[in-house]
Amino acid sequence: MPNVTRATKPAPGLPPCLPPFLPFTDRPERGGAAIPGRPSRHLRGSEIYAEGSAIRQLYRVVSGAVRVCRMLPDGRRFIAQFALPGEVFGLDGVEEHRFSAEAVTEAVLIAFARRDLEACLDREPLAAQSWQAYTLEKLAAAQDRFILLGCRSATERVAHFLLDLAARARPGREGLALPMSRYDMADYLGLTAETVSRTLTLLRKAGMIAIEDNHRLHLLDTGRLMQAAEPGRAAA
């Protein structure tokens, strides 16, 4: 918890990306209804919380990226979620974290006490409704991901992932940032790093994407990419 005041408002007017109406704030002076947040900075690869620890806070990503993951008994790793700037993570269980969270890149977060959130939900019917919709949306998204993991080919998974990242990306530098490694992508998509790499090469050779470097690429043909992501669905 070093001084990161500079980082507490790097994006002027933090869009309340998710959840939409929840009065999270990093400026405690804004009013009694707001949930006060505490900024923190995490080095690349460092653990933010451990699997099995009590859930005491939620986090909103200010900058960088976070992976929410679990090590399986056989040594494999599974990534449940990537949290990008503006997004919230940390509620991966009821009482205890069922996953751990790690910084994919150096990351600046704002932490909100869980009890503050719960108090707010009890106090503010509108916030409660918004939270309700948020969790419902997350559940619906989870079911879509079941389909992705359950019966999609490698190409479909990777294409879907790229489009999802693009949809979630903040308007910023030209091109699509891939903060995570091929291994991270693989563990998120239920593939291997080799397959992810091969698939990206395939999409590149097919002219759908251009790879600037290992952590940045460009979507050249979103229509065909969408076709690759969901065969049978019409291109945009």
Partner DNA sequence: CGTGCCTTTGAAGCAAGTCAAACAAAGTGG
Partner DNA sequence: CCACTTTGTTTGACTTGCTTCAAAGGCACG
List interacting residues with a second copy (CB under 8 A): 70, 72-74, 76, 78, 80, 91-94, 98-99, 121-122, 125, 128, 132-133, 135-140, 142-147, 149-151, 189-190, 230-233
Q: How many CB atoms sit inside 10 A of residue 223's CB?
A: 11
Question: Taking the complex as a whole, how short is the minimal distance between the CB of residue 207 and a second copy, in angstroms?
Answer: 23
* 103 close to 48: Cβ distance less than 8 angstroms: yes
Q: For residues 122 and 167, is the Cβ–Cβ distance under 8 A?
A: no
Residue 66 pairs in a beta bridge with 83, 103
Among 30, 54, 194, 210, which residue interacts with DNA (rule: CB under 7 A)? 194
Of the pair 18, 206, the CB lying nearest DNA is at: 206
Q: State whether residue 105 is helix, strand or coil.
A: coil
Closer of 55 and 206 to a second copy (Cβ):
55
Q: Nearest distance from residue 144's CB to DNA, in Å?
A: 18
Taking CB under 7 A as the criterion, the residue among 8, 130, 192, 222 binding DNA is 192
Distance CA 53, CA 90 (A): 11
Which of 130, 190, 212, 218 forms a contact with DNA (CB under 7 A)? Answer: 190
Q: Whose Cβ is closer to DNA: residue 120's or residue 159's?
A: 159
Residue 130, interface with DNA (CB under 7 A)? no
Q: Are strands 176-177 and 47-49 parallel, antiparallel or unpaired?
A: unpaired
Tokens representing 106? 């150096």
